[in-house]
Every structure is written in C-alpha cells, then in structure tokens.
C-alpha cells in the first residue's frame, strides 16, 4: 500500500521535498526556505485595505487632514517645538511640588530656595542704610559721633604768632637809597631804611645772614626804581615790603620768609 502511494505522487513534489531536506556538500542544512521575505509597500497596501474594510470612517478622517496652501512649515515646526518645551517645563515644574514621588528632590529644592532668599534679605537689610547716605563726603564731621564747632578767628590758637614759640627774626643792617624824584619831592630824595625779616624756619634766617650783602644789593636795586610819592604813602610802604619778601624767597635755597617788617623808615624829599 505504501509503495502504491509513493508511486501516485507527483515527481516534481518529490524533487522539491528532497531538495529542501537534503544536506549541503559540507553537511549543513540550508535554512533559506524558512526565512520569510516581506515587501514593505505591499504591507502598507494590505493595512490600508484592512482599515478600509473595518473602519471606513477613520480613513475619511485621515484623508481630511491636509496642510493648508501657503502655510509656513518653519513656523509650524517652531510652534510645535515651543509646545514641547513648554510641556517639558511644566512637567519639570510639577515635579517640584510632588512630594510623594520626589520627596528628596522637593525638600532639597525648597531648602535651597529658603537659604538663598534669607541670604538676599540679610544683604539687603544690612546695606539699605548705605543707600540713604550721600555719596560725596564734604566733611569728616558727618561721621563723627560728636561735633564741636568753634570760631577760628577768636578761639583758634595762632601757629606762627604763638607766644610759646620763639620767632625766627633777623634785622638787616640799615640801607641808604637814592629814590626817584616826583612832583612832591626835591631833585634828590633819599631813603634810610631798616627792616626785620621773619622766617618760617631757622634755615631761612641762617642763609639770609650768610648772604646778607647779596640780598641787600638786590633790595637796593629794586628800591632805587621807586618814586618819592610812591614810598611816602602807607600803601606804598606795604607794597614795598611785599616785594621784598617775594625777592628774598625767590633767591633762597633753604626755607622761606614769612613776612618783612619795617623797623625804621626815614624818607627825605
């Protein structure tokens, strides 16, 4: 019976079966027949047919979705990205309030917020008084706890004219000078002059003594150019003393002269 069945089978089928189960030359069995080859395009067509048969209304809704003409795809992409970012931000923000799921992160975050806020408040509270102060300091008396006012003319103690300190004074020897004639003088007016020089320091007086002849010559040359009417007035005498002080100071190498005073002043018309 078995032999008759084998004889009735198609010879082609026998050949295929023998080929599928036959080993290769190296003894391995070819499994290429077991691999299923698929066509992606055909699969999509099959899916569309299934959806059309099972849910035609869904297919109509899908076909109705179209991009309007003239739509800016770049703007649409940016809007979609913005929505995604906003959704992710809101999602992260919600995590900060969800104690049940993220208790450690929530507690750490809020403790950090409180510490930063306390630090900002402390700095602001300690510096707010400085904002009310004037940026320009015109007097150190503003920062002093006690301010004392006094009259510098009547209450201040003089520095150079202080009676407790010795004054650096020197008297130049008497000078005789022929001055220029003027309306109120004769043809040969003459001046006999003796002055006191007060130095700021003793160095000026020492140098003045050493170079007395030189300084007297400079003062004589200056006075010879003055007129009788000019030297006879009080203002003229004061101007002459001021010019003497300027001349002496311009030629001193050590110290300065504070003022020049008249010890004797005799003028003959």
- Domain assignment of residue 249, given as a range: 168-268
Other beta carbons within 10 angstroms of residue 19's beta carbon come to 10
Assess if residue 58 is contained within a domain.
no
Averaged pLDDT, 178-194:
90
How many structural domains compose the chain?
2
Same domain? For 264 and 173 the reply is yes
Is the pLDDT at 192 greater than 90, yes or no? yes
CA distances from 100 to 93, 103, 109, 260 (A): 15, 6, 15, 97
> What pLDDT, on the 0 to 100 scale, is given for residue 156?
78
Tell me the percentage of the chain whose pLDDT exceeds 70: 72
CA distances from 118 to 78, 79, 97, 126 (A): 40, 39, 21, 12
Same domain? For 194 and 104 the reply is no
Assess if residue 163 is contained within a domain.
no
Q: Give the pLDDT confidence of 231-242 residue by residue, as tens digits.
A: 999 999 999 999
Same domain? For 133 and 99 the reply is yes
Same domain? For 183 and 251 the reply is yes
Alpha-carbon distance 116 to 69, whole Å? 53
| Contact call for residues 199 and 258 (beta carbons, < 8 A) | yes
Is the pLDDT at 107 greater than 70, yes or no? yes
Same domain? For 175 and 252 the reply is yes
Q: Give the pLDDT confidence of 56-79 residue by residue, as tens digits.
A: 887 777 777 766 666 666 776 777
> What pLDDT, on the 0 to 100 scale, is given for residue 17?
42
182: left (phi over 0), alpha (psi -120 to 50) or beta: beta
Q: Give the pLDDT confidence of 134-178 residue by residue, as tens digits.
A: 677 787 777 777 767 888 778 777 777 777 777 888 999 999 999
Same domain? For 144 and 218 the reply is no
Q: Which CATH number goes with the domain that contains 252? A: 3.30.479.30
């Amino acid at each position: 019976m078995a032999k008759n069945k084998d004889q009735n089978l198609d010879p082609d089928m026998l050949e295929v079966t023998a080929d599928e189960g036959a080993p290769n030359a190296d003894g391995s069995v070819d499994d290429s027949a077991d691999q299923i080859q698929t066509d992606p395009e055909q699969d999509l067509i099959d899916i569309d047919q299934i959806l059309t048969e099972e849910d035609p209304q869904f297919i109509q809704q899908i076909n109705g979705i179209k991009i309007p003409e003239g739509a800016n795809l770049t703007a649409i992409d940016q809007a979609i990205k913005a929505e995604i970012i906003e959704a992710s931000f809101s999602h992260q923000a919600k995590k900060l309030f969800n104690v049940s799921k993220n208790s450690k992160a929530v507690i750490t975050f809020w403790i950090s917020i409180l510490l930063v806020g306390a630090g900002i408040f402390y700095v602001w509270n300690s510096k707010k008084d400085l904002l009310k102060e004037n940026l320009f300091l015109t007097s150190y008396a503003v920062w002093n706890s006690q301010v004392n006012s006094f009259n510098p003319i009547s209450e201040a103690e003089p520095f150079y004219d202080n009676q407790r300190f010795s004054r650096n004074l020197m008297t130049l020897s008497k000078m005789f000078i022929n001055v220029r004639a003027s309306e109120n003088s004769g043809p040969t007016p003459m001046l006999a002059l003796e002055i006191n020089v007060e130095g700021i320091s003793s160095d000026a007086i020492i140098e003045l003594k050493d170079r007395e002849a030189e300084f007297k010559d400079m003062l004589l040359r200056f006075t010879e150019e003055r007129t009788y009417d000019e030297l006879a007035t009080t203002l003229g005498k004061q101007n002459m003393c001021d010019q003497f002080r300027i001349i002496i100071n311009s030629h001193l190498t050590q110290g300065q002269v504070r003022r020049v005073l008249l010890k004797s002043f005799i003028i003959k018309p």
